[in-house]
Structures are given as C-alpha cells and as structure tokens.
Amino acid sequence: MGKIYKGTIINPVDAHHAEVMHHGFIEVDDHGRIIDKGIRKMADRDEEPVIMPAFVDVHVHLPQFDVRGSYSGNQLLLWLKKYIWPEEAKCSDNAHVKDIAQRFYDDLIRHGTLTAGIYGTIHENAVKTMIEAMPIRGRVGKVVMDQQAPDSLSETTREAIEVTERLCEQYGDRHMVTPRFAPSCSFEVMRQLAEIAQRYNCYIQTHLSENDDEIALVKKLFPEYRHYTDVYKQAGLLGEKTIVGHVIHCHEEELTILKETGTQIAHCPTSNVALKSGTMPLDDIVRHHIPFALGTDVGAGPKTSMLDVMRAFLDVHDSVHATPTAALYYATKSGAQVLGYSDETGSLDIKKSADFLILKEYKQIDQSLDEYIRFLTHKSDYDTIVEKTYYKGKALF
C-alpha cells in the first residue's frame, strides 16, 4: 500500500487527448513510483486540487537567469554580444555559478518544472557544478565556441573537444554535446563533437535558423554548404538524439532533412516573441511529423514558467494544432520524449516516477480541459499557481 494523493487528475496522452478524472487519485510507492491511479468510489468533497505531471523545459540557458528581459530589438547577434556573453563570462568564477545555479533550480521547482535540457557555458568547472547541484532531472551541456567569440569566452578547437569528451566520460548522458550554433563553431569542431556524441551515446543540442542575420552569417561562414541545416548534417550532428532550438526560417528541403534524420525541435515561442525572431511554422512541422516540445529559452525567454510558454504557443499560432490540450502535451509528455525520459516522467502513468504538481486552482466539473488550461495560462502571476511540487514522490516545494 503506497501513499494516496486525491484530486482531479489531468494526464496528457498526446497532442489531441488528455485523461481527466474528477474525484481521482494516484498511488505512489516507497520508491517514488506511481503504482495505481483511478477514480475514487467515495468522493469526499466537490472542490479538490488538480494533480498534473510536472513540466519539462527542453531548452533553457542556466547562466542567463539574471539577464532575463534585456533586449535590443530584433537583433539576436547584438543581444548576444551586449547582454549574454558578458554574463556567461562570469561563470569562470565558480562561486558565481554555485549561487546562480541554486537560485535557478529553486525558481524552476517553484514553477513546477522538474525536468530540463540546459545550456551551460564554455567553462568545464561551471558545467560540473550545474550538473552536480541539480536537484531535478535533466541534462546540461558545455557550450562550445571555438570561433567568432569574445576574448572572455574563447577556446581553441582542441580545448573544446577535450573538455567535452571529459564531461561525457565523467557524466555520461547527463552531459549534452553542445555546439552553441554554427556561427560560433568551426566545421572541424562540429565534426569532432558529433563523433564524441556517437561514442558516448550522448544527446546533442544546438540552435538552428532563429534569425535572418544569423542565417546570413552562416551563409558567409560556410559558403560551401547548401543551407544552415546542411552544415549540421554534413558535420554529422543531426539524428534522433539531437535537439535543435527554434527552426523558424527553415524551408521545405531543410525540414525534410530534419524529418529524415529523426532530429527533434525545441520550440520557444516566448523567446521568439521577445527577440522578434519570427514564428515557428507549426503546421509544416506537424505535417512533416518532426517531434517537438516547448522550452523557455531563458534568458531570451523572459520567464521560467512553462505556463507562460504555453500561453505564447496559443497566442502566436493561428493553427488547428495550437490547442490548450496540445500545449499541455508539448510542455510535459512530449518534452520527456524529446529529452529521452519518456519511460521516467512527463505523464501520470503507472511505473513512471511520481513527478507531479498540486495546483491551487480548482477545475470545475463542467469546465472543459481546454477552458481550464487556457484559464491557467492567462493568470498573470505564475508562481502562485503551483501549491506543491513532488519529485520522485518527495515534496520539493
């Protein structure tokens, strides 16, 4: 007999369906696994809390936590130079990393995110600290920048490769191979990073086709390739364990390559709005059956809350595929699949880890799930929504 949690159970199934059980329960064993769920025979009261799976953020930059909300128009490249690179350079100081990592993880937990795909910085010690201090589930990547980087963040090709390999060796797939984006990487470093990921069976994360100036720069730096996606393809970086952020301006041939290689997308609508990057072509991505999930992309994204990202997903897409039920799926179960944790988390299914949230906002019986999710995403203060956060069956907050 495990511990019973009673409430309205909301459990995402796919982009079109979710299980909703009023007067429901989940049962959790001593190992923090869900061992049963269902509807209670005797309901004790009409108003009951909502129980739903914890959120998954597939794309977030830990070192940018303190510079959220700093922008300079639609200039991705200027924004990086002005705000991001000086901030990331601070991570050569490990006391700074410890402090920011703790505040970052606390904030994620308060907002109900218990699984994340995280970008670090170029610094080996910083990435170690980010992995070792992590109280939730996730993978962290040492960012590689062996060209077009400021002095404070530059490294040689050899250093980038050696540090990446050491981190994969030490942490296995908790470390993600992370070429920042093509402009920051020589072709040689990308080719060797792909080999390391293959050898250690690690995930790869990077950015692809976010902004027009960035795409023009890639064309200038890599003139011998057909397009941005082809640079990554020829370097061997694309595949089922690769997550590319954004994919806003890719054309048909590029999307076909992503589909054929099994590459997955991190879709970050709050970031895309903030940097005026454009809108991911949702209908085309769905038509090509390219797997994707939602990410905050903090610090370009202003908030760590996945509810804010779900709100933006609903706001920016004029598409039959952008429903509240779909937003919930892309912020939970699909994220777990993209990050390789589908057996562990992302939904309230038997045998999975009990990673769940208890929400303060009740769901009325006559309210549809879409109405309820829309209501949640349009609350202004997201950190008042989560009452309690359970990770592996234990209360974290």
Phi, psi of 343, deg, nearest 5: -80, -15
Minimum CB distance to Zn ion smaller for 227 or for 267: 267
Q: In the complex, what is the shortest distance from the CB of residue 16 to Zn ion, in angstroms, rounded to a whole number?
A: 29
Tokens of 323: 């429903």
Minimum CB distance to Zn ion smaller for 148 or for 319: 148
Cβ atoms < 10 Å from Cβ of 276: 12
The stretch among 142-150, 192-200, 292-300, 365-373 that binds Zn ion (CB under 5 A) is 292-300
Closest by Cα among 70, 71, 61 to 122: 61
Tokens of 216: 């023009």
Q: In the complex, what is the shortest distance from the CB of residue 176 to Zn ion, in angstroms, rounded to a whole number?
A: 13
Q: In the complex, what is the shortest distance from the CB of residue 245 to Zn ion, in angstroms, rounded to a whole number?
A: 5
How many residues of this chain interact with Zn ion, rule: CB under 5 A? 2
Map residue 311 onto helix, strand or coil. Answer: helix
Contacts (CB under 5 A) with Zn ion, residues 241-270: 245
The stretch among 144-152, 293-301, 329-337, 360-368 that binds Zn ion (CB under 5 A) is 293-301
Q: In the complex, what is the shortest distance from the CB of residue 134 to Zn ion, in angstroms, rounded to a whole number?
A: 18
369: enclosing H helix or E strand: helix 369-377
User: Running DSSP on this structure, what letter comes out for residue 74?
Assistant: B
Map residue 372 onto helix, strand or coil. Answer: helix
Provide the residue type at 83 as one letter.
Y
Nearest-CB residue for Zn ion: 297
* Alpha-carbon gap, residue 208 to 245, rounded angstroms: 6
Task: Give the x-and-dash track for 298-337 against Zn ion (CB under 5 A).
Answer: ----------------------------------------
Minimum CB distance to Zn ion smaller for 214 or for 297: 297
Pick from 124, 297, 308, 355 the residue near Zn ion by CB under 5 A. Answer: 297
Provide the residue type at 221 as one letter.
L
Distances (CA, A) of 378 to 327, 381, 393: 13, 9, 29
The stretch among 71-79, 93-101, 221-229, 294-302 that binds Zn ion (CB under 5 A) is 294-302
Q: In the complex, what is the shortest distance from the CB of residue 13 to Zn ion, in angstroms, rounded to a whole number?
A: 29
Minimum CB distance to Zn ion smaller for 178 or for 186: 178
* Alpha-carbon gap, residue 379 to 311, rounded angstroms: 10
The stretch among 191-199, 289-297, 328-336, 352-360 that binds Zn ion (CB under 5 A) is 289-297
The stretch among 279-287, 291-299, 326-334, 336-344 that binds Zn ion (CB under 5 A) is 291-299
Question: Which residues have C-beta within 8 Å of that of residue 139, sequence separation ≥ 6?
Answer: 116, 117, 118, 173, 174, 175, 176, 203, 339
Q: In the complex, what is the shortest distance from the CB of residue 297 to Zn ion, in angstroms, rounded to a whole number?
A: 5
Q: In the complex, what is the shortest distance from the CB of residue 278 to Zn ion, in angstroms, rounded to a whole number?
A: 15
Minimum CB distance to Zn ion smaller for 143 or for 307: 143
* Alpha-carbon gap, residue 218 to 206, rounded angstroms: 14
Q: Which residues bind Zn ion (CB under 5 A)?
A: 245, 297
